Chain A
């Protein structure tokens, strides 16, 4: 029996064991997603999109099919030490994928609606269905799996002209001390016209058992609105994580996204930016610092559907140990999207002989009056620079940390919020053993 057949069986087992009827809400969408997932299946070795990321193999090794959607009861009672002070006044905590109101604290007097997704499906039914109709379906198998099996989630509605709100910190904690954990979470953010908002999202884990977590994020940024989104993935545990983030931008809107992947077992981020309006600006940054046997895979898509917009992408990676990095950056410029400016850069440094990176830019441009560029580089630490620093009395380890920190610095510099910049700087500094 071939490996491929085994994987197919794993998808089939999963679907056969999954009981859709126990979900009362969202049943039509779930049914649709499950059918689509069934025809697609979990990605196999031949799957172009998961060519370098053997996630199904890993899942099949670690989990029984029915464990891919069941979740044990969490026991965490205090997370205050885990959430940075600057963000404690406005934070939402999920433990093992379940919204935890006792650990969450929302800023008083805020105009922004923040509530569990199930609740919002009743209170904001029309907004949700109207906005979801604007978003095209995500055909990633894990996005479909999440859409069929999601357990909990969050709805965020930022009304027109809202500004000056505190950033929202979303903390996804998985407690895998007692057993394996699975969670599927969804998030929907609607930033209405001329509003501004920002979210910081961090995943974290306790314990050594394997965790499987998917997050679906649907983000709508309306006309003249501005949205900033920062993801921090720094799980010391055995986390297998897939996020599907779609940012839908309308006329003259701005979106800034930052993805920091520093630890975990296997991380796959699918980031889709859909520019569906003129005069949009979109910046997306990524930094992945991997070590051990961590695999971080960033797949990004920016789809320019309308003219006169600007997108800039910068992803940088440092790979050590036996870790693997994967970067795939697609830029689409539709025939109608003249005067588009789209730039992409992916730069990597391999710090060991066993570390690898697979990087692939993919540009598909149908319009003729555009400025687009892409570049990717992979190299090693610059020995000459190292010697230069050492020749001034700086020990080799410090010199190395200085060069790596400087490499990462370009991404850190792009963060505008000072609190956030300091927070991430402290995490990255610790990770790079910065001592200067």
Chain B
């Protein structure tokens, strides 16, 4: 589904990604872990098409297409979804209207009919149950005045509505208490199918207790330096990132 080959990226003059290689197949969950500043969030942003980063080398193929050649909206329409670490507050745009616009733009792109108001609301009600979000929140301005947990839940609600093929969760656990974490993780798990895939970017192992990964990759200085199964995450939790750093310095 996703093939990243030798990906290099920088922001202004600073190189952040220094040769990432990663392949994600349908049905898989990959966790990307690493210390602060290792490039985790940059990788998520580059995949979603954030313009602040300049790709200097490498290629990314998504479902057989050149992902780096697409603008952010086309990436979304092809099936990429980024759950933001810091969801943006947009006064004056309600989540409901936002989602209706987004969904219909995606459907247009895929040559499907746009949804009428009734079908949209029916769909929305289903998804609301799935992610346990309060409907009154969705009629309010997008994320404006939402708590950290509400914002993250809204991200998962949007993910449920847009049904992406590849979801990238960027530090979705940051700022969440344990209850909110469980609700968000449950939402993600319920949305998993054999046809879609998830990349979970996180600093801590605790999210992975709820969203169990098939593979864990450790990112350090813009490179994947270690890959393994979920046990690697537990080992990291126990030994800390210094273990990786020390190993790298020795090498």
Contacts and interface: CB of A to CB of B under 8 A. Distances in A.
Contacts of A383: 51
Q: Which of A389, A396, A410 has the most CB of B within 10 A?
A: A389
Interface in B106-150: 106, 109, 141
B72 to A, nearest CB: 4
B230 interface: no
B106 A385 contact: no
Given A393-B105, A393-B106, A407-B92, A388 B87 contact: yes
Contact of A390 (B73, B81, B87, B99): B73
B26 interface: no
B90 A394 contact: no
A136 interface: no
Contact of A389 (B71, B98, B109, B162): B98
B76 A391 contact: yes
A395 B105 contact: yes
A395 B105 CA distance: 8
Contact of A392 (B51, B71, B76): B76
Interface string A90-129: 0000000000000000000000000000000000000000
B155 to A, nearest CB: 10
Nearest to B161: A392
A384 interface: yes
Interface residues of A, number: 24
Nearest to A388: B88
A106 B91 CA distance: 41
Contacts of B98: 389, 392, 402
A402 B101 contact: yes
A187 interface: no
A394 B72 CA distance: 9
Given A387-B72, A390-B71, A406 B102 contact: no
Contacts, number: 74
B105 A394 contact: yes
Given A392-B98, A393-B77, A387 B51 contact: yes
Contacts of A402: 93, 98, 101
Interface of A is mostly: helix
B204 interface: no
Interface string A32-72: 00000000000000000000000000000000000000000
Given A388-B87, A391-B82, A392-B98, A409 B76 contact: no
A398 interface: yes
A398 B91 contact: no
A394 B49 CA distance: 13
A425 to B, nearest CB: 13
A402 B100 CA distance: 12
Interface string A286-314: 00000000000000000000000000000
Interface string B240-251: 000000000000
Contacts of B91: 406, 410
A402 B141 CA distance: 12
A409 B94 CA distance: 12
Contact of B101 (A385, A396, A398, A409): A398
A403 interface: yes
B158 interface: yes
Q: Which of B82, B105, B141 has the most CB of A within 10 A?
A: B105
B226 interface: no
Interface of B: 48-51, 71-73, 75-77, 81-82, 84, 87-88, 90-93, 97-99, 101-103, 105-106, 109, 141, 158, 162
18 contacts: A382-B88, A387-B72, A388-B84, A391-B75, A391-B81, A391-B84, A392-B81, A392-B98, A393-B77, A393-B102, A393-B109, A393-B162, A398-B101, A406-B90, A406-B93, A407-B92, A410-B92, A436-B97
Interface of A: 382-385, 387-396, 398-399, 402-403, 405-407, 409-410, 436
Query: Closest 5 CB pairs between A and B?
Result: A406-B92, A393-B76, A392-B102, A390-B72, A393-B106
